Amino acid sequence: MKNRPAALVFILITLLIDVMGIGLIIPVFPNLMKLLSGSETAGAQMLGIFTAIYAVMQFVFAPILGALSDRYGRRPVLLLSLLGVGLDYLLMYVAPNLGWLLLGRIIAGITGASVTVANAYVADVTAPGDRARNFGLLGATFGVGFILGPALGGLLGNIDLRLPFAFAAGLSLLNALYGYFVLPESVTSETRGKALGREVLNPLAPLRDLGRYPVVRALASSFILIGLAGQVLFNTWVLFTEATLGWTPAQNGLALALVGVMSVLSQAVLVAPAMKLLGERGSIFTGLLLSTVQYGMMGAARSGAAMYGSIVVGGFAGIAGPALQGLISRSVDAREQGRIQGALASLNSLTGVVGPLLATWVYAYFNGGSQWRIPGAAFYMAAFFLLAGVVLAGVVMRRMPRSVRAGVQDTVSEQPS
């Protein structure tokens, strides 16, 4: 069952379609919310609520789908998830009111959590020596999907506001049909999981692992702040650019595609040189400071050129995340790397619940609910979060054990001169 090319290709296509589907609706979903809510302020608030509900569903059901796939097989869980995602997009295409749209978001949150199952499938069908390369392919596919999705969604949205939803539904349903014929089961009788227990199905269980390492627990605060700042970008970008810059869905789609391009370039090109030049600690501080500048520029932007300039700055800021993860990985026992990374992923999911509500509330308040109109208020809040993350990271790194702190410095000092 190892190294099945057709199975791996299907998983890559599945991830590409998942990410493209998300990207397709980003340029138009805020407009649909405003249309069904009746005003920009109400639309912004409802957008935050719907996004938070989607994140809650993902947080709860990701471990459940993973456990179900261990017990009953990857194939049925993946195929049913694809059908569910396709149904969600069809619901959003025809939704006459917010109630139907909410039902679609709940379905999407449940079935969209299948990325966990896709990762497990790759581990099943790949020889141990090839897993790093194939997981790298998953990461690259994610980046490509986020480049193509917003660009295509913006162009289709210019034709008809709901057309991207129909297109995304067609992609998901065709992929489910394709998978029905080419996707074999990867779980064997020897590897099938045991009966499901409460611990396996508890989404909060992984978070307890963070408390076992004081350094990781402290650095988790920076992770939370970075995650909250990121939610501002994805939940208020379209609201801000349409109201303040007068952008169309097509313009938003192309700009968000550039965000994806810069993210891919940052991860593929900039991280290694930054680590050699700055080390982990320097990369963390530099990246977070650049992110602070990026969000400040976004809040102050009153032209397309200024907004595009902030995207470029944000691309260079992408060196912080990998450096922070590297520092955390060296702070924990080698036998618990997977558990800690899983706990951090759960923590990131929780920011997806709180972040959209906070970001859209701040945007709505300062763009219609307050006597003071500050179009970029949400972006300024994100800049504050990131600046606080810089301070917290600095405090933690000064207090961390000497052996770990020495390792941070060695990242730089051991480089050839």
Indicate the length of the chain as a whole number: 417
Distance separating alpha carbons of residues 134 and 138, to the nearest angstrom: 6
Residues 400 and 267 in one domain: yes
Q: Which tens digits make up the pLDDT trace of 172-196?
A: 888 888 888 877 776 766 656 555 5
DSSP state of 303: S
Residues 227 and 316 in one domain: yes
- Of the listed ranges 4-8, 196-200, 322-326, 389-393, the least confidently predicted one is 196-200
On whether the CB atoms of residues 194 and 71 are closer than 8 A, the answer is yes
Residues 352 and 309 in one domain: yes
Q: Which tens digits make up the pLDDT trace of 8-45?
A: 777 788 778 878 877 888 888 888 888 888 887 888 88
Residues 229 and 172 in one domain: no
Task: Please check whether residue 120 lies inside any domain of the structure.
Answer: yes
Quote the domain boundaries for residue 316. Answer: 204-417
Give the phi and the psi of residue 285 in degrees, each rounded to 5: -65, -45
Distance separating alpha carbons of residues 21 and 146, to the nearest angstrom: 9
Tokens for 126? 């790949």
Residues 137 and 255 in one domain: no
Residues 175 and 208 in one domain: no
Q: Give the domain CATH number at 354.
A: 1.20.1250.20
Task: Please check whether residue 391 lies inside any domain of the structure.
Answer: yes
Task: Please check whether residue 193 lies inside any domain of the structure.
Answer: no
Task: Please check whether residue 198 lies inside any domain of the structure.
Answer: no
Q: What domain count does the chain have?
A: 2
- Of 119, 149, 183, the position where a domain reaches its end is 183
Residues 268 and 358 in one domain: yes
Q: Which tens digits make up the pLDDT trace of 314-357?
A: 888 888 877 777 777 667 665 555 556 656 767 777 888 899 99
Residues 41 and 82 in one domain: yes
